[in-house]
Amino acid sequence: MNSLRRLILAGALLAAPFMTMPAMADASIPVADFFKASQYSGIPSLSPDGKTLAVLTPRNGRNVLAVIRLDSRTPRVIASDPDWDIANPIWVNNERLVFSLSKGKDAVYEDQRGGGLFAVNTDGSRFRKLTPTLKEAMGNNIPYKPYQVLARAGDDSTDLIVVNNERGRDAALGASDVFRLDTLTGKATLLTFNNPGKVSEWTLDHARVVRAGSALDVEPGSKRIRQTVYYRDGENAPWKAIYQAFIDEGREMEIAGFDFDNKTMLVAGRFNGRDKKAVYLWDFAKNTVGEMLADHPQADVENVRFDSSRKKIVGAPVAAMKPEYVYFDEDYARLDATFRASFPGQEYFFQWSGDSVVVYTYSAANPGSVYFYDVAKRKLEPLYVMKPELEGKKLSETKVIQYNARDGLPVPAYLTLPEGKKAEKLPLIAFVHGGPHARDSYGYDGMVQMLASRGYAVLQPQFRMSTGFGWKHHTAGWKQWGLAMQDDVTDGVKNLISQGVVDPSRVCIIGASYGGYATMYGLAKDPDLYRCGVNWVGVTDVKMLFTVTWSDMSGPYMDNLGRLMHGDPDKDGAYFEKVSAIGNAARIKAPVLMGYGSEDIRVPLIHGEKMRDKLRAQGNEVEWVVMTGEEHNWYREANRIAWGEKVEKFLAKHLAPASKQ
């Protein structure tokens, strides 16, 4: 492992770019096209030997599972259902796959009762139902016991290594076991009879032996959630605890995996006082981290990538503002250089098996394109695009910017400027992400691209509390709803105004979940900054996260981290009152569009109803939408399209030039 090192990519293996970008902007793209589900579902997957490609392809309105022999390019549909989409195919060996079912784009959340696990050979034979769907389990009044696939058993075995929570389904913080599942018979053999505790995450070595596990429990009295990492030297060795930490200190450890000697363990976390997560070797002699293998100055690094067929640790992916990679392997680094030259301005992910490589490319302006590369022939060819309705249409690029908040905190952000428009006096949409302990990621976003196509600039700030940018950035947002978190958004807007990019009289704030809260509170805190707001599934009173008892925002996480991040209902009454959007609704002047799901248990409908009633009682203009059967997101394609069209019409009405108001 000491030979692992970062590789500086230099040069290119292909002389000319493979892709050409469309030349002209198209502002007439129908709103529906931005919100339609992708024609193809997911990225195609190569068999372990690289000779066969598994792909989900549309047929008669459903996604079916097909395999393509790459030597003959002969396709064959091996799994389909008139009422279900085939979903999540995984190779068992070179001749067998497992998959699950989904209701897909035509069903609301309430009707998404798929799942299950099924197996079939690539010639269509030896079909086997391994677990029923959620709908079948509910209909037969039996517990739904899904399997999570951890790994193939290896070689030509028809077995999988899977995780199931049957023994621990009542554990508040999760508990599970590992099984070896025979996909021909459905028989599952328990591998963790001597489970060391309430383990929720397991790690195998490359011999498929369960070697490590991460368990969470609640410390009596303090209600703090504590992580314990367990390890054993081999299949028959005793488990021993090697690490403990409280997750409210940000010092939890993740097992990234084992090297191919099955002795060297890689871990990720914040060690030695570091603010951002990095990947390390674990020193068993000292029972602490040893050599650091991969880190990044702006973002957390949390895992590594393996190539089992070549017995290599390839490198470490980095979820920075744009994806990056720290490579340990020269062959992968050279292949990466090939694709970097072939797809300028694009991000990509590739799977390499045998002499075959499948490449998935994407960007903010590219919803996804899939290519096949023959390593031996050095030949690259296109397979398909994810959203053909947008092919040849010029979308808008997103760039990464950074500005300083008023207290000096650096705030990274995405800025999308409408293609073909001069970056002067543009109408702006401040688009606030949910969570708030989450983040936006680079790539195609239907709402962002629809807004940009209509001439709006779009700002997506990664305000304090956002995750992935280090512990300090995250904890700077604790108990800052409506305060510094809100100021981070405001400061980003004012930064663009000061540069002359944005028309100060034509700014709107929008967002979902926490973003919906930021919308409502932003309209109250800065009533003269925003001309309108769009809030979907938004929190409207922070204290209701704790007091609305039919919400799923309860349990150990809310008792510990929730009270630290969002406020303590027993101690922070003054804070909750100050940052309540409902409590400050009298300051709101701008019109607002509000949308909620009838089945939402994350932010129940009462959040929206109370705010709607208060605004209407004081004479505000409120457009109100309830998506029947939907939860904390719109699952049904028709609902996503309808919402996009409502947003577009609402903004067109309220962000017209000042002279037309």
Q: Mind giving me the DSSP string for 303-349? A: --EEETTTTEEEEEEE-SSS-EEEE--HHHHHHHHHHHHHSTT-EEE
- Tens of pLDDT, residue by residue over 248-282, are 999 999 999 999 999 999 999 999 999 999 999 99
DSSP tally for the chain: helices H, then strands E: 13, 35
Q: How many CB atoms lie within 10 A of CB 15?
A: 7
Q: What is the mean pLDDT of the chain?
A: 91
The model's confidence at residue 106, banded by pLDDT at 50, 70 and 90, is confident
pLDDT at 9: 27
The stretch 16-32 carries a mean pLDDT of 58
What tens digit of pLDDT does each residue of 408-441 get?
999 999 999 999 999 999 999 999 999 999 999 9
Q: In the predicted model, is pLDDT for residue 7 greater than 70?
A: no
The percent helix, strand, coil of the chain (3-state, each to 5) is 20, 35, 45
Residue pointed to by tokens 């198209």: 26
For the ranges 85-99, 287-301, 540-554, which has the lowest average pLDDT?
540-554
pLDDT tens track for 452-510: 999 999 999 999 999 999 999 999 999 999 999 999 999 999 999 999 999 999 999 99
Q: What band does 547 get if pLDDT is binned at 50, 70 and 90?
A: confident
**Residue 453 main-chain phi, psi, to 5 deg:** -65, -25
Could you report the per-residue pLDDT of 139-166, keeping only the tens digit for each? 888 778 889 999 999 989 999 999 998 7
Give the integer Cα–Cα distance in Å for 429 and 416.
10
Is the pLDDT assigned to residue 17 strictly greater than 80?
A: no
Backbone φ and ψ of 363, nearest 5°: -160, 180
Neighbours of 220 (CB within 10 A): 7
Strand partners, 58: 63
Whether the Cβ atoms of residue 396 and residue 449 lie closer than 8 Å to each other = yes
Q: What is the pLDDT of residue 511?
A: 98
Mean pLDDT value across residues 627-647: 93
Q: What percent of the chain has pLDDT over 70?
A: 94
Residue 4's pLDDT is 39
Q: Is the peptide bond before 58 cis (omega within 30 degrees of 0)?
A: no
Phi, psi (5° rounding) for residue 615? Answer: -65, -45
CB 514 within 8 A of CB 433: yes
Residues 6+ apart with CB under 8 A from 660: none
Q: What is the pLDDT of residues 282-336, one digit of tens each?
A: 999 999 999 999 999 999 999 999 999 999 999 999 999 999 999 999 999 999 9
pLDDT above 50: residue 608: yes
